[in-house]
């Protein structure tokens, strides 16, 4: 306050404290208005919104609903999809926020602009500070940039080998067959109140086997080894499901409740297990295994001592692969089952192809995957409609420009000042479509096709796997991000999901669970209910009630 009075001496002559207070408030308000104006002008006055609270804050993105002028609402990019781009008449828009700092977020759903951003790592690096909390066990590929990231990428990439992909397929098939034998048995019909109760443990078991070389069973028969308080399966399960608790609760508060104490114990136990496995397998030398963990250790050992990862870095990277792979696969499979249940004609197309590939009703092999293009297409269409991560954050490291498309189909160059935060809006890009204009106050809608805006997806809200059976714009499909920082585990994830989907569909027909309270809902209402989701580490289904009926 004193420095303000020194710069504005006229304020010292004001006798009333209330007048002084209002004067200071007025000065601060004017300063804020000018700052907002400058922030908008920095992006060339690109159309957009001005909000009080930034969606980058916990309260802005996870707590508050959408309030005009205040907040975007929860999971806003997935909820809005392409609607905001249509509203502002361009493939990019601006969100200017006041709290906690006055700044603008550039939101992009333009394939060409996104390709430029992801291809120019020096101009548009990743804001790694947003991911710092994910370094629980050590530095890793997600929280790093520059030379550190290059080291992690170089050592990690060989671990995701073709042999590992085959192991993922075989282990997934074995785990699903275990589900049939140990859980579903000879039941003709299996009613599941929420399908993630199946997909989460399935994905966990695959990570355990193909990721760590640790086989788990649907039967709870694991014995806790000496020196441990939890089995590996228990520790892995609690870490994978309670990672948000670890993220949200400060360290000093982790012992206040039974749930937080359990989470703390699970993280401690998993860290101990990983350290033990690193030492055991390093001591054994070359181990004839193809699980991700063994491959990573082998790749690390083959590098020079100077560039090799430390034990803590190995643990950090193994952990991040666990978290990324577990929830992404589980939730995408849940949404895929939901879409195939909602669209039985598409499910039948996939099933008929599976019958052709597996005429004797056996289990699919890794070599069969190339013949299952309809299953792959259904999986990709699910990823288009429900991308696991809806925001890929970047920022501008220098004053630069980007070219976007406006409503008239014209290419427009916009300035991007140094320090500008950028959101690559995956959901917006995946729903980028034709534009509709109202030419009068009447209800007549005239649809016109703007080449650059209609380039990506026709009828984007519909589940149409066939769009992936012909040419499509690959730059407009980025469920795993894009460029050099795209997901390193993409093949692991795809192989796991497609093998599980193929085997389950070959044996069971999937339908939506009929419930009396929803007997009068329309198809669109049912679709909205079953596909309802919330924000999480990935887009998370709230409740997907399904029925699996054994095929004759």
Query: Could you tell me if 16 and 24 are in contact, meaning their C-beta atoms sit under 8 angstroms apart?
Result: no
Range scoring the smallest mean pLDDT among 134-138, 200-204, 364-368, 503-507? 134-138
446 vs 297: which has the higher pLDDT: 297
What pLDDT is stored for residue 449 in this prediction?
A: 39
- The pLDDT score that the predictor gives to residue 327 is 86
**What confidence score (pLDDT) does residue 59 get?**
82
Mean model confidence pLDDT for the chain: 87
Nearest alpha carbon to residue 196 among 137, 226, 135, 241: 241
Q: Give the end-to-end CA distance of the chain in Å, rounded to a whole number.
A: 80
pTM above 0.85, yes or no: yes
Residue 378 has pLDDT above 90, yes or no: yes
- Of 16-20, 362-366, 437-441, which gets the smallest average pLDDT? 437-441
Per-residue confidence (pLDDT) for residue 305, from 0 to 100: 65
Q: Does the pLDDT value for residue 318 go beyond 60?
A: yes
Q: If we measure between CA atoms, which residue out of 237, 239, 207, 203 comes closest to residue 222? A: 237
Q: Is 187 helix (H, G, I), strand (E, B) or coil?
A: coil
Our separate counts of H helices and E strands in the chain read 20, 14
pLDDT at residue number 240: 81
38-54 core/surface letters (b: 16 or more CB in 10 A; e: else): ebbebbeebbbbebebb
CB 523 within 8 A of CB 534: no
Delimit the domains of the chain by residue range: 2-124+392-425, 149-388+479-550
Choice among 43-57, 460-474, 492-506 with the minimum mean pLDDT: 43-57
| CA distance to 105, 151, 295, 306, 316, per residue, from 301 (Å) | 42, 13, 10, 11, 17
Query: Residue 281 pLDDT more than 90?
Result: no
What pLDDT is stored for residue 247 in this prediction? 79
pLDDT at 442: 34
The listed range with the strongest mean pLDDT (51-60, 203-212, 219-228) is 203-212
How does residue 224 score in pLDDT terms, banded at 50, 70 and 90?
Answer: confident
Is a pLDDT exceeding 90 seen at residue 353?
yes
What fold, for 149-388+479-550? Cytochrome p450 (1.10.630)
d(CA 380, CA 369): 14
Read out DSSP for 380-442? HHHHHHS-S-SEEEEE-SSSEEEEEEBTTS-EEEEEE-TT-EEEEEHHHHHT---EEEE-SSS
Residue 242: band (very low, low, confident or very high) from pLDDT cuts 50, 70, 90: confident
Average pLDDT over residues 292-297: 88
- Quickly list H helices, 180-231: 196-206, 212
- Please give the annotated binding residues, written as ranges: 487
Residues 360-375 have a mean pLDDT of 93
Question: Residues of the chain with pLDDT > 90: what percent?
Answer: 54
| Residue 384 region by backbone torsions, left for phi larger than 0, else alpha for psi between -120 and 50, else beta | alpha
Bridge partners for 533 per DSSP: 541
DSSP assignment of 4-68 equals HHHH-GGGGG---HHHHHHHHHHHHHHHHHHHHHHHHHHTTT-SEEEEEE-TTSHIIIIIS--BT
Instruction: Report whether pLDDT(21) > 80.
Output: no
Q: Which residues are annotated as a binding site for heme?
A: 487
Strands 92-99, 48-53: pairing is parallel
Element (DSSP H or E) covering residue 467: none
- Position 81 scores a pLDDT of 93
């Amino acid at each position: 306050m004193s420095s303000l009075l020194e710069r504005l001496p006229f304020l010292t002559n004001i006798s009333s404290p209330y007048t002084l207070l209002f004067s200071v408030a007025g000065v601060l308000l004017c300063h804020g208005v000018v700052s907002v104006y400058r922030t908008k002008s920095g992006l060339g006055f690109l159309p957009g919104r001005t909000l009080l609270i930034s969606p980058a804050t916990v309260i802005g993105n996870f707590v508050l609903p959408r309030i005009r002028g205040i907040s975007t609402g929860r999971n806003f990019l997935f909820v809005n999809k392409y609607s905001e781009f249509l509203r502002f008449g361009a493939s990019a828009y601006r969100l200017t926020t006041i709290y906690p700092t006055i700044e603008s977020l550039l939101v992009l759903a333009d394939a060409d602009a996104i390709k430029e951003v992801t291809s120019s790592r020096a101009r548009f690096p990743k804001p790694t500070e947003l991911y710092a909390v994910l370094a629980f066990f050590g530095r890793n590929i997600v929280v790093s940039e520059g030379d550190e990231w290059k080291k992690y990428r170089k050592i990690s990439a060989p671990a995701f080998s073709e042999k590992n992909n085959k192991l993922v397929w075989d282990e997934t098939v074995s785990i699903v067959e275990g589900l049939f034998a140990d859980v579903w048995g000879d039941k003709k019909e299996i009613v599941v109140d929420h399908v993630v109760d199946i997909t989460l443990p399935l994905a966990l078991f695959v990570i355990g086997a193909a990721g760590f070389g640790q086989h788990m069973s649907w039967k709870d028969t694991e014995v806790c080894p000496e020196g441990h308080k939890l089995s590996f399966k228990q520790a892995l399960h609690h870490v994978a499901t309670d990672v948000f608790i670890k993220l949200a609760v400060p360290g000093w508060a982790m012992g206040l409740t039974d749930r937080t104490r359990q989470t703390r114990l699970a993280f401690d136990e998993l860290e101990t297990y990983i350290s033990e496995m690193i030492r055991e397998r390093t001591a054994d030398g070359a181990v004839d295994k193809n699980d991700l963990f063994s491959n990573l250790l082998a790749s690390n050992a083959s590098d020079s001592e100077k560039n090799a990862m430390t034990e803590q870095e190995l643990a950090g990277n193994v952990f991040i692969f666990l978290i990324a792979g577990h929830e992404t696969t589980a939730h995408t499979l849940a949404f895929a089952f939901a879409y195939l249940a909602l669209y039985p004609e598409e499910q039948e197309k996939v099933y008929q192809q599976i019958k052709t590939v597996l005429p004797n009703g056996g289990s699919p092999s890794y070599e069969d995957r190339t013949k299952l293009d309809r299953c792959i297409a259904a999986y990709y269409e699910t990823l288009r409609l429900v991308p696991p991560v809806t925001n890929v954050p970047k920022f501008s490291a220098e004053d630069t420009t980007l070219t976007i498309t406006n409503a008239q189909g014209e290419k427009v160059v916009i300035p991007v000042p140094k320090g500008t935060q950028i959101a690559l809006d995956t959901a917006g890009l995946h729903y980028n479509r034709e534009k509709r204009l109202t030419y009068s106050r009447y209800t007549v809608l005239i649809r016109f096709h703007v080449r650059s805006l209609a380039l990506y997806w026709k009828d984007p809200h519909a589940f149409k796997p066939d769009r992936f059976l012909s040419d499509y714009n690959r730059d407009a499909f980025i469920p795993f991000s894009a460029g050099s920082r795209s997901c390193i585990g993409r093949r692991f994830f795809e192989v796991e999901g497609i093998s599980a989907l193929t085997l389950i569909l070959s044996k069971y027909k999937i339908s939506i669970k009929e419930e009396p309270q929803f007997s009068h809902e329309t198809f669109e209402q049912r679709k909205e209910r079953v596909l309802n989701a919330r924000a999480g580490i990935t887009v998370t289904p709230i409740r997907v009630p399904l029925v699996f009926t054994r095929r004759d």
